[in-house]
Amino acid sequence: MQKCAMLQLRQRRWIWLLAWGLLSALGSLVLARLALAELRDAFETDARIMHRLLSQRVVQHDAVMATLALLQPRQSAQPQPPEQRLGAVYPQILALQRRDAGAPWPQDSLRAAEARSRQSRHAALANLDLAAGRYQLVLGADPSSYALLIDLRATVPWSEWPMRPDSSPVRVTLEHQGQRFLLQPGQVRDGGWRFDFHKHLAADSQPFDMVAVRQVGWQALPWGWFLAWAGAMAALLLALQALQRQRAGRRRAEELLRLGQISRLNSLGELAAGMAHELNQPLTAVLANTQAASRLLREDPPDLATARTAMTQAVEQARRAASVVGRLRRLVERPELSGQVQPVLLQEALDNALYLLEPELSRRHVQPVRKTPATPLAVLADPVALEQIIHNLLMNALQALEQTGAGPRELTLSLSEDQGQGLLSVYDNGPGIPPERMARIFEPFFTTRQAGLGLGLSLCETLAVGMGGALSASSPASGGAEFRLTLPLAAPDDPKQP
Ligand code: ADP
């Protein structure tokens, strides 16, 4: 399994993009639904207004007929009865026919309509021609019956109409028995969303259905709002991302500071240990010399008193110095690490160290290659000490890689199980370690770097050994350097398993 930091970075970018896409799509969906609901509401309100206006007009026809039936006995004798002037008041009434008692209707259809009217006790339709927008309304009454010829187009009160009939997208028709009168054509195409309104006009005598249809296409959706929403989401996510990056940067800086502090403390310990080591040798020599002096005193002629005093004092001094060194050594002795170990996942420790070094890696254009087993590898270690070792090894590798010039920079980090131990190998294709240097790199104060202290590797080794593990180095013939850190594996049934 191979993974690298850049891949994770790219994956994270995809996640942000995905989140933006999802939020934009969801927001647009809600906006589209709201816009469609608003359009539907407006459509239904308009359709209800049109239905009310048309219903009022057709009911008016019933009222006119009822009035004619009531007034007829007196009016019928006049030369030009007032009913003939109806057209002046109601422009939709094109003509009026009257059939006096005993006289026939000019058409059978009118006779049949009168019969239906008498049966239903309200006016009845005759000669319906919806395509032309004409029909007749017949009311059977005594002594005279009446028939009105009605023009549907003139029936519509256009001045009160809620939309412009020539440009409105809504199609409105009046329908009855398969016939249809087109009030306004609208624009009805395929695709998109369709709103329908279907209702009887409120007059039994003229049982027309008013049908209104509005087809809403994709272009009617609020694209401007969609764009604005997507833009707002992008701005929000970018701000969140910046905040997250800022937080991660702060966390990383704090972590590095902490590691630096620990490292400095440990380096001081290492320094003191080195000094103790250095001091102990001359002191031992002093001790040996004084003992030699005392031997000399045994020669002839010996100044026994002075020699004995001097010797006793020298021995005392030497012992005091040795005890000071001993005390110093005890003071700087590192606490026993083996007591502090706990199960730690090597993968996690490596991830943490890589995360902290992310800026260093990208600054040096190094893309580490991770080779890790699919199952987690738990070792017994002190988490801080382990982190410090990995950090030091990675920093050393990065410093070595700086010397590779323009060639490709390889940094391979492998985790595996090796002879019952957890193994972390850090390989870099830097200049490698020549054999004469190899024996000394773990010595305190051994360094080949100008600004180096030479304490890093010796500290790492001490820490590794303190945790029951080991640290070794090799420089393969093919070039570069490999550092191998081994640590005892945590038992699978360890109650402290992470
Ligand atoms: P410092 O980093 O202060 O020199 P270290 O103890 O970490 O101290 O390293 C000691 C020496 O080991 C370095 O100066 C360098 O010569 C050698 N060394 C460490 N790591 C590498 C490496 N990855 N490649 C080559 N040489 C290395």
The domains located in the chain, with CATH, are 2-72+79-220 (no CATH), 340-488 (3.30.565.10)
Give the nearest ligand 1 atom to 458 CA. 6
> Is residue 294 scored above 90 in pLDDT?
no
pTM: 0.53
From residue 329, alpha-carbon distances to 3, 49, 101, 324 in Å are: 45, 100, 140, 8
Residue 430 Cα to ligand 1 middle (Å): 11
Q: What are phi and psi of 304, to 5 degrees?
A: -60, -45
Q: How many CA atoms lie within 13 A of 162 on its CB side?
A: 18
Report the alpha-carbon distance of residue 67 to residue 59 in Å, rounded.
13
**How crowded is residue 88: how many other Cβ atoms within 10 Å of its Cβ?**
8
Kindly report the protein residue whose alpha carbon is nearest to atom 17 of ligand 1: 441
Mean of pLDDT values over 41-45: 96
CA of residue 394 to ligand 1 center, whole Å: 11
> In testing the pocket of ligand 1, which one of 441, 450, 485 has its CB within 8 Å of the most ligand atoms?
441
What is the per-residue pLDDT for 338? Answer: 61
How many angstroms is it from 397 CA to the middle of ligand 1?
8
Q: Ligand 1: which atom is nearest the Cα of residue 426?
A: 23
Nearest atom (ligand 1) to Cα of 455? 6
| DSSP 8-state code for residue 42 | H
Dist. CA 332 → ligand 1 center (Å): 24
pLDDT at site 3? 45
Mean pLDDT of 251-279: 73
Lowest mean pLDDT among 78-82, 260-264, 373-377: 78-82
- In 338-410, DSSP assigns E strands to 342-345, 369-371, 378-381
- Atom index in ligand 1 nearest the CA of residue 480 equals 24
- CA dist., res. 254 & res. 251, Å (int): 5
- Cα distances (angstroms) measured from residue 187 to each of 77, 139, 215: 53, 38, 7
Q: How far apart are the C-alpha atoms of 202 and 210, rounded to whole Å? A: 10
Tokens linked to 492: 């699978």
Residue 384 has pLDDT above 60, yes or no: yes
Ligand 1: does its nearest atom lie under 6 Å from the Cβ of 345? no
For the cut 50, the answer to whether the pLDDT of residue 496 exceeds it is no
What whole-number distance in Å separates Cα of residue 238 and Cα of residue 44? 42
Q: Is the CB of 433 under 6 A from ligand 1?
A: yes
How many other CB atoms are found less than 10 A from the CB of residue 129? 12
* CA 498/CA 422 separation, integer angstroms: 15
Q: CB of 141 within 8 A of CB of 86?
A: no
Neighbour-count burial of 149, counting CB atoms closer than 10 A to its CB (0-12 exposed, 13-18 middle, 19+ buried): middle
Ligand 1: which of 447, 459, 461, 483 to mutate, most ligand atoms within 8 Å of CB?
Answer: 447
Q: How confident is the model at residue 427 (pLDDT cuts 50, 70, 90)?
A: very high
pLDDT, position 275: 60
Q: Is 481 in the pocket of ligand 1 (CB under 6 A)?
A: yes
Ligand 1 center to 486 CA (angstroms)? 19
How far is it, in rounded angstroms, from Cα 492 to Cα 282?
Answer: 50
The dihedral built from the CA positions of residue 215, 216, 219 and 220, taken in this order, carries a sign that is positive
Q: Is 438 in the pocket of ligand 1 (CB under 6 A)?
A: no
Is 404 touching ligand 1 by the criterion CB < 6 Å?
no
Cα 9 to ligand 1 centre (Å): 30
Q: Residue 73's pLDDT is what?
A: 54
Q: Which residue has the tokens 């110093």?
A: 328
Residue with CA closest to ligand 1 atom 11: 447
Band (71; pLDDT cuts 50, 70, 90)? confident
Which residue's C-alpha comes closest to atom 3 of ligand 1?
452
Question: What mean pLDDT, rounded, does the chain reach?
Answer: 86
Cα separations in angstroms, 451 against 13, 27, 347, 399: 38, 57, 31, 11
Say how many C-beta atoms besides its own lie within 10 A of residue 111's C-beta. 16
Ligand 1: distance of its center to the CA of 441 in Å?
7
The pLDDT assigned to 307 comes to: 64
